[in-house]
Amino acid sequence: MTTDRRFPVRLDLRHGTVDMSHGAGGRAMAQLIAEVFQAHLDNDLLRQGNDQALFTPPPGRLVMSTDGHVVSPLFFPGGDIGCLSVHGTINDVAMAGARPLYLAAGFILEEGFALQDLVRIVVSMAAAANAAGVPVVTGDTKVVERGKGDGVFITTTGVGVVPAGVTISGDLARPGDAILVSGSLGDHGVAVLSRRENLGFEVKIASDTAALHGLVAAMVAAVPDLHCLRDPTRGGLATTLNELAHQSGVGMRIRESAIPVHPAVAAACELLGLDPLYVANEGKLIAICPAARAAELLAVMRAHPLGAAASLIGEVVADPHRFVQMETAFGGSRIVDWLAGEQLPRIC
Amino acid sequence: MKYIDEFRDRDLARGLAAAIAAAADPTRQYRLMEFCGGHTHAIFRYGLADLMPANVRFIHGPGCPVCVLPMARIDHAITLATQHGVTLCTYADLMRVPAGERRSLLKAKAAGADIRMIYSTSDALRIAREDPGRQVVFFAIGFETTTPPTAVAAKVARAEGLENFSIFCNHVLTPPALRTILATAGPDGVRLDGILGPSHVSTVIGSQPYGFVPQLFGKPVVIAGFEPLDVMQSTLMLIRQLNEGRCEVENQYTRTVTAEGNRKAQALMAEVFRPRETFEWRGLGFLPDSALRLADDYADLDAERRFAVTIGEVREVKGCECPAILRGVKEPTDCKLFGTVCTPDNPMGSCMVSSEGACAAYWSYGRFRYDH
Ligand code: SF4
């Protein structure tokens, strides 16, 4: 990076911390943006330095989504809040069957936050955005007083475009449809929990955080008449299936033995008294499609690295109560209910 | 996790279900009370009721420490945090339990009281060490299983000279509760034929303390583990005892339970705690010698003595059937509030709060079984 005449002394990225001046709109803020955000997230639109990004959308219907990220701890096995904030929003856009185009990012920093950690987070965001081919083209930074934030909060907004002929929505599940998941459940939630200060336990589980738009593109190309797509983030598979059942006015029947769960995740959940069905994921999706297309969809998913462990876990049924029922690994049955209250406070 | 999988094997479950079906005499009823919420939870989570013949029924007992904690004790804790300005450390499942006037620890926390969710007693000790200027109270709750760790916390605090740490003791004992239920069994109380005994409790106290059940009340007991296969095997053992006319304490959970239990843990408990003359159980009323307080040697660590708190009379929500459900006399669906005003998101009674409570288990896992 060339030296910027406005800032004769570079930020001390190794020992420095965020202070109120970094959010005050003056020179300090300009320097933080230049040396931390622009330095790493660099792209043509961002470089223009405007308060907005101006671009011509490709033809098609636009999709827009926004998501706030408040994970604790900020760094966890397999990722951090930076890549998470990129993946999360890309996935929300992709779950409409869309190709994500651009991201916007808003940062709320707490006074006293180490610049070193901020850089680490921004570098991780940049790497995630680059790998996904979805640049961060505009942003915003605010600083709050010490004690009024939790280090850093990141809100990302994404836009994308849906290919012609694709209509994917949570209210389109129909009795008889097949329900598929793209891989093992609960990895993200358990990875994050394992690093909680007061919980710290040893697991060899990394967060599954990943951008799923490539997988979605392959799925949509093969089976354009997909009915529903959703990423089971907070609240896990159970919550997502309940949402879809509710939106579509149907019931669901799933088989516990078909649901992929990593043994280490199952063990950690056992220890903590949690149910993996409710634990968060950041790189998995649930797909609902006409039964006749299920085998083809499953094959396409398994052929993609992010869907290698995909599984057909059940089917949509008619049920005025909109219950999600599960045949347990034991052969008994039970409801998989909405989560009551907050079982895992703030894991994504 | 091979260890767990062995106790959740589907083929083994099928085999046990077939054995139970073969053993159960169709001309008689088997009403089996699972004392513990852990069993209730396993029965619902794995859909075990589906695997039982119609004449083998589970009756849910009072075995969830959160469910049996009377509202006044939660009020007491809230008062400690709000009026005495202490930092109150508690396990997460207590946070949402409704207290008097529709309060709860969670609501008190949202209103500004310093209430921390912890995962072990060592978290509470650490919080006390880190802030010596602040009084830290550990809200201790649980059956015999969780009592030894509380005793250890008391000893550590004493050894370190932690002057800002104290314990609000709500530990309760299972045998007196079981005795009360059995004493009121019969036409007015619960009708039951056998008991699935609490295995984690017995890991500490052994199986011996349940000897009074066959001796005084003529009902068989099987100390049962919490894995689904444990529950099924224990059910089969009870059915066999009943069929053969035997009546004894059997131990299914031989992996960790012995007749005498853990002597070291018992000695620790005896050193740090004394039985209370009486203690209120939600649903069961005041039971003699059914709970623990800190021994006089540890009185300085007793939050009830350190902070003077008086609680007025606390009234249960009108219509809540928790007391009858905890005694096994009624089922959750007998309560008019069940699923209408009372759900896990808006619990009226304690049985709906803890996931081990009978109402919550019915609602969350089993409500497709009956008509809406
Ligand atoms: S449904 Fe609610 S009010 Fe009724 S007994 Fe259960 S917990 Fe109490």
CA of A222 to the centre of ligand 1 (A): 50
pLDDT at B101 over 90: no
pLDDT band for A348, please (50, 70, 90 cuts). Answer: very low
For residue A335, give the nearest of B17, B46, B368 by CB distance: B368
Confidence at residue B348, expressed as pLDDT on a 0 to 100 scale: 85
A342: pLDDT confidence band, cut at 50, 70 and 90?
Answer: low
Q: What percent of chain B has pLDDT over 70?
A: 95
Q: Give the closest-approach CA distance of B369 to chain A in angstroms.
A: 9
Looking at residues B48-76, what average pLDDT do you find? 89
- The count of residues in chain A is 348
Atom of ligand 1 nearest to the CA of B336: 4
- Residue A346 has a pLDDT of 37
Per-residue pLDDT, B57: 92
Between A89 and B283, the more confident residue is A89
The pLDDT value recorded for residue B67 is: 84
B343 to chain A, any CB pair closer than 8 A? The answer is yes
CATH number of A20-162: 3.30.1330.10
User: Is any atom of ligand 1 closer than 6 Å to the C-beta of B321?
Assistant: yes
Residues B119 and B82: their CA atoms lie apart, in Å, by 22
Residue-wise pLDDT for A127-158, tens only, equals 999 999 999 999 999 999 999 988 999 999 99
A270 close contact with B: CB closer than 8 A: yes
Is residue B312's pLDDT more than 80? no
ipTM value > 0.85: no
Q: Which domains does chain B have, with CATH numbers?
A: 71-173+261-306 (3.40.50.11740)
- Asked if B365 reaches chain A (Cβ–Cβ under 8 Å), the answer is yes
Distance from CA of A143 to the nearest CA of B (A): 24
Q: Which of A75-89, A111-125, A201-215 has the lowest mean pLDDT?
A: A201-215
Per-residue pLDDT at B194 exceeds 90: yes
Does the beta carbon of A56 lie under 8 angstroms from any beta carbon of chain B? Answer: no
Least confident range from A47-51, A239-243, B269-273, B289-293: namely: A47-51
More confident residue, B119 or A248: A248
Boundaries of every domain in chain A = 20-162, 178-335
Q: How confident is the model at residue B5 (pLDDT cuts 50, 70, 90)?
A: low
Chain A contact present for B366, CB below 8 A? yes
Contact A332 B48 (CB under 8 A): yes
Crossing angle (nearest 10°) for helices A81-94 and A115-132: 30
Map B248-277 to HEC letters. CEEECCCCCCCCCCCHHHHHHHHHHEEECC
CA distance linking residue A282 with residue A188, whole number of Å? 6
Q: Indicate the range of A12-21, A61-70, A131-140, B321-330 predicted with least confidence.
A: B321-330
Q: Is the CB of B329 under 6 A from ligand 1?
A: no
Cα–Cα distance between A195 and A7 in angstroms, integer? Answer: 38
* Best B365, B367, B369 residue to mutate vs chain A (most A CBs within 10 Å): B365
Burial of A47: CB neighbours in 10 Å, binned 0-12, 13-18, 19+:
exposed
In CATH, which of 1.10.3720.10, 3.40.190.10, 3.90.650.10, 1.10.540.10 is domain A178-335? 3.90.650.10
Q: Ligand 1 centroid vs A252 CA: distance in angstroms?
A: 27
Is residue B356's pLDDT more than 80? no
pLDDT band, residue B3 (cuts 50/70/90): very low
B48–A contact, CB cutoff 8 A: yes
B47 min Cα distance to partner chain A (Å): 4
Does B366 sit within 8 Å of A330, measured CB to CB? no
| One-character DSSP codes across B66-91 | HHHS-HHHHHHHHHHHHHS-PEEEEE
Specify the higher pLDDT residue, B293 or B191: B293
Average pLDDT taken over every residue of chain A: 92
Task: Look up the pTM and report it.
Answer: 0.83
Over residues B210-261, the pLDDT tens digits come to 999 999 999 999 999 988 899 999 999 999 999 999 999 999 988 888 888 8
